[in-house]
């Protein structure tokens, strides 16, 4: 293996490790997580004369998640909306970081295989 190739592989492994270490820091934080997607929906109330029956409903914030193959959804109280939005965002950030870590691990594995391939010799 040429010294130049070895330096290139070493730099890539170190760069990937540094990026992975940064992503892992998120998992060790004390931030709250709420499973699910936080979104605005529109709901109709039970009053027949209300404008919501013509206009498409009243705005309501919901948190939705999958449980045992079924979509579960809960209305978020007005007083809880701020922290639920933050905790749901934290959940999404964790899921994104996990996907990135998996990609980094796959790339590191490829680079390590290339190092083994270039360093290996055939005994004759």
Q: Quick check: is 124 in a domain?
A: no
Q: Quick check: is 60 in a domain?
A: yes
Cα–Cα distance for residue pair 64/62, rounded to 1 Å: 6
pLDDT band at 27 (very low <50, low <70, confident <90, very high): very high
Q: Taking 80 as the threshold, does the pLDDT of residue 2 lie above it?
A: no
Q: Quick check: is 59 in a domain?
A: yes
Cα–Cα nearest to 26, from 84, 81, 100:
100
- Residue 66 β-bridge partners: 71
| Residues 34/91, Cβ–Cβ less than 8 Å | yes
pLDDT band at 9 (very low <50, low <70, confident <90, very high): very high
Q: Quick check: is 29 in a domain?
A: yes
Helices (DSSP H) in the chain: which residue ranges? 3-27, 52-55, 81-119
Task: Please calculate the CA angle 30-31-32 and round it to the nearest 5 degrees.
Answer: 120
pLDDT band at 1 (very low <50, low <70, confident <90, very high): low
- What domain range includes position 29? 3-119
Against a cut of 0.85, is the pTM above it? Answer: no
The pLDDT tens digits of the residues spanning 71-111 come to: 999 999 999 999 999 999 999 999 999 999 999 999 999 99
For residue 99 the two structure tokens come to 């996907």
Mean pLDDT of 15-28: 95
**pLDDT on residue 10:** 92
Q: Quick check: is 57 in a domain?
A: yes
**pLDDT on residue 108:** 96
**pLDDT on residue 13:** 95
Number of domains composing the chain: 1
Q: Quick check: is 34 in a domain?
A: yes
Give the SS3 label for residue 110.
Answer: helix
The pLDDT tens digits of the residues spanning 47-68 come to: 878 888 777 888 889 999 999 9
């Amino acid at each position: 293996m040429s010294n130049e190739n070895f330096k290139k592989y070493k730099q890539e492994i170190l760069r990937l490790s540094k990026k992975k270490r940064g992503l892992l820091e998120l998992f060790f934080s004390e931030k709250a997580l709420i499973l699910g997607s936080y979104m605005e929906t529109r709901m109709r109330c039970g009053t027949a004369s209300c404008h919501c029956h013509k206009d498409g409903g009243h705005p309501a914030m919901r948190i939705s998640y999958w449980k045992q193959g079924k979509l579960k959804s809960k209305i978020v109280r007005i007083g809880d909306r701020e922290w639920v939005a933050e905790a749901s965002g934290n959940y999404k950030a964790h899921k994104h970081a996990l996907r990135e870590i998996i990609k980094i691990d796959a790339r590191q594995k490829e680079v390590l295989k290339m190092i083994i391939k270039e360093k290996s010799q055939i005994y004759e």
